Amino acid sequence: MAREFTRVGVVGLGTMGAGIVEVFARNGVEVVAVDISEAALERGRANLTGSTDRAVARGKLAEADRDALIGRVTFAVGLGALDSVDLVIEAVPERLDIKQRLFAELDRVCKPEAILATNTSSLSVTEIAVATTRPDQVIGIHFFNPAPVMKLVEVVRTVVTSAEVVADVEALCVRLGKVDVTITDRAGFIANALLFGYLNQAIGMYESRYATREDIDAAMKLGCGLPMGPLALLDLIGLDTAYEILDTMYRRGGRDRRHSPVPLLRQMVTAGLLGRKSGRGFYTYERPGSGRLVPDESTPVASAPLEGARTVATVGVVGSGALAAGLVESLTTAGYQVTQVDPATELASLAEADLVIEAVADEPEVKKALFAGLGEVCKPGAVLATTTATLAVIELAMATGRPAEVVGLHFANPATPLVEIVQTILTSAETTATARAVVAALGRTGVVCGDSAGFIVNALLFPYLNDAVRMLEAHYSTTDDIDAAMKLGCGYPAGPFELLDSIGPDRSLAVLRAVYRQSREPGLAPAPLLEQLVTAARSFRG
Ligand SMILES: NC(=O)c1ccc[n+]([C@@H]2O[C@H](COP(=O)([O-])OP(=O)(O)OC[C@H]3O[C@@H](n4cnc5c(N)ncnc54)[C@H](O)[C@@H]3O)[C@@H](O)[C@H]2O)c1
């Protein structure tokens, strides 16, 4: 018989705590909600009423149920009110010293049989547990943001957590309508271990002005179908919390430089730019706590990027594959006059084209020879574009003898409207503006980025996929649980192994190799298991 949890305590009513209170109270559990001050309590109460009022407004919660839900919650300052609860879950700041002090105190205050749980994202549950005299009753219950919405809970058992406590908490997750994956105590567990390297890398792209915040976020939303871009997600998580998670993961997770927080993150936290909760982070919000964006000095002016664009009426497409065929069709539909040629045939028919897009095989020598030919044949001022996914655009540009007119147009995935417009260090502003105008005329969304391997989407996506393979290789979890964690915890449309299989392990390996070759980052070296799968011509999910 699983233990009955009739009264639970939640400590810390910030971004996560208020949502966790809601999850319990919605499911008929009495909640004692605790924070350190009256002001913090008020913020927590406002978060809870705001969230439940929105649920009522959307028709997802009846008014009477909302009132009953709120009626189940008692608010209190200080831990004394937790003496009669069956379970406490804490969501105080992500710092080991704070959590250890809190657990020692909870151990004194709570009933001897009460379970003490942490919502930590990255700290060692074991180190938190040993601050108490009951480490066998300490467990991680890691909810995802926003807690009332995301289905996943990672249940973290340490080497001393008792089997009954694990079973009781697993049964509780079912009662709360959550899907749990039970795992051992490793930095970042499943989801954050795969998410935070990616988020940190996105901050690095923004910091180095590789692309704008809007373009980085749009690329990941449109290119991968993610519910939010990485910088908007960081604002939701809270930049102080994100900083602490990365810092812990760096120190606990093998000092992988990819987890060492990008300097800009620390600067933003120091400056009080914490994301939504402070009203400003990577973006600016209507007020602290709001998710509604307001324009700021970095918001792009819609028409500015098209200034200087050259008129394009005739377009040449080189290639005969599926991408070339798709391009011919959509360019024709958009009203351009299109000439399609094969690289083997005479390029002379492209002499008058305003724009030439090549979509031939990603072979460096073939593409270079083609661009040398285009450089000779095409009229001055014609924009020459490559659809390469893995080659450096600048190398092709140099072959033309007119690199200012060369740009990358990476049609990330035929099923999405995204096009990455890749400008090299020599691409002229007019060339980029022309590319933007054509992409817009095709009804697609263009994002502009630098000429680095993987551009935006692949550079951010493939290291994450590789990390998932490494996690599998280390026997930390299974393909099913890892896929479930990313879908149910982060709202991804597909898990990493589903994605790797649909892209194809061989293609994935080729992209990863290109990204690794350029970065020489040890953490980006293709996982041996991926190489073996390619050699054995197998997929991950059979
Ligand atoms: N933010 C996320 O997206 C997210 C997701 C999952 C898990 N978590 C984890 O949840 C925990 C809380 O993170 P957050 O983002 O909600 O933080 P937060 O800063 O939004 O909220 C922290 C809350 O704890 C209170 N607090 C501080 N010290 C306290 C103490 N000694 N006793 C009682 N209350 C105290 C604060 O007043 C505040 O209300 C962290 O461990 C974090 O890693 C966060």
Confidence (pLDDT) at 344: 65
Cα of 187 to ligand 1 centre, how many Å? Answer: 18
Burial (CB count within 10 angstroms: exposed 0-12, middle 13-18, buried 19+), residue 277:
buried
Residue among 192, 278, 477, 508 flagged as catalytic: 192
Helix, strand and coil content of the chain, in percent to the nearest 5, comes to 50, 15, 35
The token duo for 278 is 């402070």
- Say if residues 31 and 24 touch (Cβ distance below 8 Å): yes
Confidence (pLDDT) at 415: 73
Full pLDDT tens readout for the chain, 542 residues: 789 999 999 999 999 999 999 999 999 999 999 999 999 999 999 999 999 999 999 999 999 999 999 999 999 999 999 999 999 999 999 999 999 999 999 999 999 999 999 999 999 999 999 999 999 999 999 999 999 999 999 999 999 999 999 999 999 999 999 999 999 999 999 999 999 999 999 999 999 999 999 999 999 999 999 999 999 999 999 999 999 999 999 998 888 999 999 999 999 999 999 999 999 999 999 999 999 999 999 998 876 678 889 999 999 999 999 999 999 999 999 999 999 998 867 799 999 999 999 999 888 999 999 999 999 999 999 999 999 998 999 999 999 999 999 999 999 766 789 999 999 999 999 999 999 999 999 999 999 999 999 999 999 999 999 999 999 999 999 999 999 999 999 999 999 999 999 999 999 999 999 999 999 999 899 999 999 999 999 999 87
- Contact 404 CB / ligand 1 (< 6 Å): no
Confidence (pLDDT) at 343: 81
Confidence (pLDDT) at 422: 98
Residues sharing a CB contact under 8 Å with residue 73, sequence separation 6 or more, in sequence order:
21, 25, 30, 31, 32, 33, 48
Residue among 22, 154, 244, 405 flagged as catalytic: 154
Confidence (pLDDT) at 1: 76
Give the type of residue at 58.
R
- Contact 120 CB / ligand 1 (< 6 Å): yes
Q: How far is CA 229 from CA 213, 220, 324, 491, 540, in A?
A: 9, 6, 29, 12, 27
Residue among 142, 200, 358, 508 flagged as catalytic: 142
27 in active site: no
Q: How far is CA 106 from CA 5, 88, 344, 532, in A?
A: 17, 8, 75, 49
- Contact 98 CB / ligand 1 (< 6 Å): yes
What are the counts of helices (DSSP H) followed by strands (DSSP E) for the chain? 20, 17
- Say if residues 315 and 337 touch (Cβ distance below 8 Å): yes
Residues sharing a CB contact under 8 Å with residue 390, sequence separation 6 or more, in sequence order:
362, 453, 454, 510, 511, 514
Ligand 1 atom nearest the C-alpha of 13 is 39
- Contact 96 CB / ligand 1 (< 6 Å): no
- Contact 135 CB / ligand 1 (< 6 Å): no
447, β-bridge pairs? 420
395 in active site: no
Confidence (pLDDT) at 342: 87
Pocket test for ligand 1, best of 10, 11, 23, 92 (most atoms within 8 A of CB): 92
The DSSP code for 275 is B
Instruction: Let me know the angle formed at the C-alpha of 411 by 405 and 415, rounded to the nearest 5 degrees.
Output: 160
- Contact 264 CB / ligand 1 (< 6 Å): no
Helix (H, G, I), strand (E, B) or coil at 163: helix
303 in active site: no
Residue among 47, 119, 121, 458 flagged as catalytic: 121
Nearest CA, atom 25, ligand 1: 12
Instruction: Let me know the angle formed at the C-alpha of 139 by 90 and 2, rounded to the nearest 5 degrees.
Output: 105
Separation between Cα atoms, residue 535 and residue 446, nearest integer Å: 36
539 in active site: no
Closest by Cα among 405, 403, 433, 404 to 421: 433
Nearest CA, atom 11, ligand 1: 91
- Contact 15 CB / ligand 1 (< 6 Å): yes
